[in-house]
Structure 1
């Protein structure tokens, strides 16, 4: 089951730059549909109730760096359970830098 996450009112900041997502043998994992490499980016998600650190998987490496405010598009949560362990994996369509309005007047 995949659960879409509504991101209105949530601010995201990169806490660890994107890294290759590897399997248990250390080999890079690829998207089953496209064959492109998967990357994991550690992000702090903040709203009025507090903050949570999540690792978000994307197809391809987001062009973002540590401490950079970002937009997370198409964020989904995927609950999983294997051999008595369980958790939630996060995946997004993209992670992009926030574009700030410079406020320059003409």
Structure 2
């Protein structure tokens, strides 16, 4: 499997469209996938929109639960890597990240209160 580092700054807006779900290693036994350090691996569905209206949907695996990441929230993806894979006549890309975090929402400053009644 070949790993390909991805420059996340060139991907444009990223939005969580499927909340983090525990990744299952074996569907028959229900075994949960763990990384080398023993952390649970989660999968997050992310919509990536570059210039214009075109969007792609990718599933990104990440170790540990991405706190604060829910459907509809813009996210920041750190350390994104793509992996090419092939099984028989099937092939594709899978994605893994070091972290997925919600983008902080800017809170507008409160308007200055008016003094002296109506103007």
TM-score with structure 1 setting the length: 0.89
Match of 2:33 in 1: 29
The one of 75, 79, 87 equivalent to 1:74 is 79
Structure 2, unmatched stretches of 5+, are 111-119
| Root mean square deviation, CA, Å | 1.5
Pair 1:53-2:57 in alignment: yes
Residue 100 of structure 1: how far off its partner (Å): 3.0
Structure 1, unmatched stretches of 5+, are none
**2:16–2:45 Cα contact (<8 Å) kept:** yes
Which protein is bigger by CA-based radius of gyration?
2
Match of 1:7 in 2: 8
TM-score with structure 2 setting the length: 0.80
Pair 1:85-2:90 in alignment: yes
Runs of 4+ more than 2 Å apart:
100-105
- Deviation per CA, 1:26-63: give whole Å up to 9, x if none: 311000x2011100000101110521000000001111
Q: Size of the alignment, in residue pairs?
A: 104
2:31 match: secondary structure: coil
